[in-house]
Amino acid sequence: MIEAPVRPALLDQIAAIVGAKGLTTDPTDLAPWLTDWRGRYHGAAIAMVAPANAAELSAVVSLAATTRTPIVPQGGNSGMVGGATPDATGTALLLSTRRMNAIRAIDPQARTVVAEAGVVLQTLHEAVAAQGLRFPLTLGGKGSATVGGLVSTNAGGTQVLRHGTMRALVEGIEAVLPDGSLYEGLVTLKKDNRGYDLKHLLIGAEGTLGIVTAATLKLVPALIDRAVVWAGVESPLAARQLLLMLEARAGREMEGFEIVPQRCLSNVLRHIPGTRAPLGAPCPWHVLVEFARDAADAPAPEAFAQALMAEAFERGLVLDAAISASESQAEAFWKLRDSISEAERAEGPAMQHDISVPVAAMAQFIIDAGTAVEARFDGTEVAAFGHMGDGNVHFHVAAPRGADPARWPNDPGKEISAFVHDLVVAAGGSISAEHGIGQMKRDELARLSDPARMGAMHAIKRALDPQGIMNPGKLVAG
Ligand SMILES: Cc1cc2nc3c(=O)[nH]c(=O)nc-3n(C[C@H](O)[C@H](O)[C@H](O)COP(=O)(O)OP(=O)(O)OC[C@H]3O[C@@H](n4cnc5c(N)ncnc54)[C@H](O)[C@@H]3O)c2cc1C
């Protein structure tokens, strides 16, 4: 760790690299970036450094390596597991990619974009849309989440069903490794067998193996049109049957299949201004399905959705359904889904679990695990929502009314999380489907992973970052 007297000299050297615009030590400027999105983790930092390009970033990391100064990479700070929040010692540099926000190139023929790490997802969507293309990954935090953060958490979102997670969409990476060297891997090659794939090591590494400075991302044709269905269903099992029916009929046209319990919808309607219930009466559970058309010979989504919903009614799979008749209605349905986390934050403390089990097992898991948790922890309420089509839900356990928000997340929150994670592991699932491990799940990962996985992860970390300066305390300890 860096000794305090070295700091002024270090800051002078950093200032010489990044200039006045790229360095701040002002506590007021730093404050919003030292707490995570959910307000659960609070840290401290020597300074926030924001290089303007990969060369500056490389020089800053070289300096950090020489002085053994810890670095915490940060993009939009929308992560859900405290991965971008430094610890409280105040010995780390917070390295923000906010100034590295250029879209370097869009290639309509190859259907790729080269975007720097600090490009915000929404900006990326708009830039490629202007060229008749689409980056087919979106999520509720799209106004803040950056390319570097999305790559580093292997983000998922609501279109994984058709397009996969970031891992399927990243074609090349440029990154600064922990010794300050620049890995230049942006060129897209269909075939490349030069041994270990650094790109795949860096995807999902949460800033523990280096800092992504830019990525080449895969694009698809822009949508011609889409239809979004909001349907009420009796239970997760009915939702599963509906999913099976739609997978058999719709195939590529179905982009997303999300499940929402009435409890989450009620929270959204209560806390998020401008939202309206999509159906005439409450239903126990809801699903949101997106049908999209990006090829002229594909079926028109609205008529297609109507025919499929008519069949689902006949088969007794849905209780009620609304189909978007305009783009603004489609957006309104997605807003209900995307606002669930924000509404929950306003509602009160909850323990969040981002879990996956095999897709076929998810419906029964939601029911059984929900019942088990509520029986074991008095007054808690489970809300499982999200990407059911991917076998991934956000399994949230809300505190009983009147619980102390300062104490509850630790006691009994930690015990609740361990209980949920044990159920997930028993079902053959993962304790982190898309948000990553960060500091929130680090100890649980160590507790529940098999020794071979943890041994290999530690060995990779030690090999690439022998001084342990890259995002210490996240993902793997020590
Ligand atoms: C309302 C809401 C909804 C969300 N929905 C989803 C969802 O559906 N699916 C999903 O996957 N996520 C979701 N998220 C979580 C979040 O948006 C993603 O994890 C996103 O990838 C984080 O991007 P960021 O730029 O904000 O990263 P940050 O929060 O800044 O950082 C996240 C992690 O990546 C590291 N990091 C950041 N930039 C770099 C870089 N350039 N190089 C190396 N490491 C870096 C950080 O150190 C940290 O470990 C949601 C968030 C919100 C607020």
Distance CA 151, CA 167 (A): 8
Each residue's pLDDT tens digit, 374-390: 999 999 999 999 999 99
Q: What percentage of the chain reaches a pLDDT higher than 70?
A: 99
Q: For all residues of the chain together, what is the average pLDDT?
A: 95
CA–centroid distance, 120 to ligand 1, in Å, is 11
- Ligand 1 mean position to 151 CA, how many Å? 8
Q: Average pLDDT of 411-421?
A: 96
Instruction: Compute the average pLDDT of residues 234-257.
Output: 93
Mutate to test the pocket of ligand 1, among 80, 159, 344 (most ligand atoms within 8 A of CB): 80
Instruction: Please write the tens of the pLDDT for every residue from 419-433.
Output: 999 999 999 999 999
For residue 395, the cross-strand partners are 384
Among protein residues, the one with the nearest Cα to ligand 1's atom 52 is: 141
Nearest CA owner, ligand 1 atom 53: 141
Atom nearest to 342 CA in ligand 1: 1
Nearest CA to ligand 1 atom 51: 141
Instruction: Indicate whether 292 pLDDT > 90.
Output: yes
Ligand 1 centre distance from Cα of residue 79 (Å) = 4
Residues with C-beta less than 6 Å from any ligand 1 atom: 37, 72-80, 83-84, 97, 117, 139-141, 144-146, 148-150, 152-153, 155-157, 206-207, 211-212, 341-342, 434-435, 438, 471, 474
Q: b/e map of 294-309 (b: 16 or more CB within 10 Å)?
A: beeebeebbebbeebb
Contact 216, 166 (CB under 8 A): no
- With a cut of 60, say whether residue 2 has pLDDT above it: no
Parallel, antiparallel, or unpaired for β 93-96 and 71-74?
parallel
pLDDT band, residue 299 (cuts 50/70/90): confident
- The 3-state secondary structure of the chain, one letter per residue: CCCHHHHHHHHHHHHHHHCHHHEECCHHHHHHHHECCCCCCECCCCEEECCCCHHHHHHHHHHHHHHCCCEEEECCCCCCCCCCCCCCCCCCEEEECCCCCCEEEEECCCCEEEEECCCEHHHHHHHHHCCCEECCCCCCCCCCCEHHHHHHCCCCCCCHHHHCCHHHHEEEEEEECCCCCEEEECCCCCCCCCCCCHHHHHCCCCCCCCEEEEEEEECEECCCEEEEEEEEECCHHHHHHHHHHHHHHHHHHEEEEEEEEHHHHHHHHHHCCCCCCCCCCCCCEEEEEEEEECCCCCCCHHHHHHHHHHHHHHCCCCCEEEECCCHHHHHHHHHHHHCHHHHHHHHCCEECCEEECCHHHHHHHHHHHHHHHHHHCCCCEEEEEECHHHCEEEEEEECCCCCCCCCCCCCCHHHHHHHHHHHHHHCCCECECCCCCCCCCHHHHHHHCCHHHHHHHHHHHHHHCCCCCECCCCCCCC
The CA 454 to ligand 1 mean position distance, Å, reads: 23
Whether 204 and 430 have beta carbons less than 8 Å apart is answered as no
Q: Which ligand 1 atom is nearest residue 206's CA?
A: 49
Q: Is the pLDDT of residue 162 over 70?
A: yes
* Shortest-distance atom of ligand 1 to CA 76: 26
At residue 478 the predicted structure's pLDDT band, cuts being 50, 70 and 90, is low
pLDDT, tens digit (0-9, with 9 covering 90-100), for 119-144: 999 999 999 999 999 999 999 899 99
Nearest ligand 1 atom to alpha carbon 37: 53
The pLDDT of residue 464: 97
Identity (one letter) of the amino acid at 318? V
For residue 313, report the phi and psi dihedrals to the nearest 5 degrees: -60, -50
453 beta partners: none
Q: Tell me which long-range contacts 405-409 makes (C-beta under 8 A, separation of at least 24).
A: 405/348, 405/349, 408/349, 409/40, 409/349, 409/351
Q: Look at residue 477 and tell me whether its pLDDT is greater than 90.
A: no
Instruction: Tell me how far apart the terminal alpha carbons of the chain are, to the nearest angstrom.
Output: 13
The mean pLDDT value for 189-216 works out to 96
pLDDT at 6: 57
8 Å CB contact between 60 and 14: yes
Q: Identify the pLDDT of residue 297.
A: 87
**Nearest-atom index, ligand 1, CA of 202:** 43
pLDDT at 261: 98
Reference 138, options 326, 334, 357, 393; nearest CA is: 334
